[in-house]
């Protein structure tokens, strides 16, 4: 069963670190992943990479994840909310699916 990452809310970044994190997380918007653990790992990996690449003096707390419903896992960061949904159908046979990064 595949999982679909969607950035459900993004606020205006207040500094360069938040801007970098938001840009990194937005790269995962509307992507499919083979399972929930891999989808969560990719969100946290993008966050960690963005924070590690920042050379300034500020820092950010790691995003908090929790199960909202039986089919949605939410990750709350300072700059964005990320939902990971269960993909009920496999759309990999559709021409549009070629545009989805996996």
pLDDT band at 21 (very low <50, low <70, confident <90, very high): very high
- pLDDT tens-digit profile of 72-94? 899 998 889 999 998 876 655 54
Query: Cα(97)–Cα(69) distance, rounded to whole angstroms?
Result: 26
How much is the pTM? 0.80
Query: Cα(3)–Cα(10) distance, rounded to whole angstroms?
Result: 20
Average pLDDT over residues 63-70: 86
Phi/psi of residue 57, each to 5°? -100, -10
User: Does residue 58 register a pLDDT over 90?
Assistant: no
Domain ranges of the chain: 3-88
């Amino acid at each position: 069963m595949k999982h679909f990452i969607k950035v459900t809310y993004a606020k205006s970044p207040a500094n360069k670190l938040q801007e970098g994190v938001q840009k990194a997380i937005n790269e995962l918007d509307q992507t499919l992943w083979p399972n929930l653990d891999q989808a969560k790992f990719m969100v946290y990996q993008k966050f960690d990479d963005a924070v590690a690449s920042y050379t300034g003096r500020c820092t950010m707390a790691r995003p908090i994840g929790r199960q909202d419903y039986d089919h949605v896992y939410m990750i709350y960061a300072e700059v964005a909310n990320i939902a990971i949904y269960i993909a009920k159908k496999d759309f990999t046979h559709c021409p549009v699916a070629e545009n989805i990064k996996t």
